[in-house]
């Protein structure tokens, strides 16, 4: 069997299972909205529900738009990546890993959307609960120094993007 298909059959299911298992543990052990400090001031386990996409994108949109939009985007991404995956050369090593990570991540987050109507996020990184206060053109702003909560599926997709960026900028050997 070809390397790319072996990678797909291993990586995507592992990401999916890890994602769903960790979310199951959070949903049944951490009350919605709670924070459990792991590294005080820097890292907490939380139980948040994200009805939007990355960074809460479209979270406030009407369900009649948001729900079909996310399902359509996920289906189109899987179809596009599936065709792209099939076209990968047999000697390609990084791209099968990256795309398999995306497949696993999409499957994990879409399973949440189908089961719950939202995605469970539980990893929260922040900087000592600090707020950056500044003024720009006479208007005051506050930025909470906290990364939006995320999950295993999000990490897999993010790692895939780093692999793709690395691959884009990797110089060919002469």
Active site residue 63: no
Instruction: Give SS3 for 43.
Output: strand
Beta-carbon contacts of 117 under 8 Å, excluding residues fewer than 6 positions away, are: 51, 67
For residues 71 and 106, give the distance between their C-alpha atoms in angstroms, rounded to a whole number. Answer: 10
Name the nearest CA neighbour of 103 among 41, 12, 168: 12
**Per this entry, what is the length of the chain?**
174
For residues 51 and 87, give the distance between their C-alpha atoms in angstroms, rounded to a whole number. Answer: 34
| Angle at 136 (CA atoms; ends 134, 139), nearest 5 degrees | 90
Sign of CA dihedral 121, 125, 131, 133: negative
Options 19, 44, 112, 154, the catalytic residue = 154
End-to-end CA distance of the chain: 31
| Angle at 62 (CA atoms; ends 80, 102), nearest 5 degrees | 25
Active site residue 121: yes
Catalytic residues: 121, 154
């Amino acid at each position: 069997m070809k390397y790319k298909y072996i990678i797909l059959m291993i990586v995507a299911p592992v990401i999916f299972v890890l994602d769903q298992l960790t979310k199951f543990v959070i949903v049944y052990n951490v009350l919605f909205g709670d924070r459990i400090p792991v590294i005080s001031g820097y890292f907490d386990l939380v139980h948040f529900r994200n009805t939007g996409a990355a960074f809460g994108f479209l979270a406030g949109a009407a369900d009649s738009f948001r729900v079909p939009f996310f399902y359509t985007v996920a289906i189109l991404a899987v179809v596009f990546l599936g065709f792209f995956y099939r076209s990968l050369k047999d000697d390609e090593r990084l791209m099968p890993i990256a795309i398999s990570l995306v497949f696993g991540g999409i499957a994990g987050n879409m399973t949440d959307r189908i089961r719950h109507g939202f995605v469970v996020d539980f990893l929260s990184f922040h900087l000592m609960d600090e707020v950056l206060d500044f003024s720009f053109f006479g208007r005051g702003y506050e930025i909470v120094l906290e990364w939006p909560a995320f999950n295993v599926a999000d990490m897999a997709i993010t790692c895939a993007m780093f692999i793709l960026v690395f691959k884009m900028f990797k110089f060919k050997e002469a």
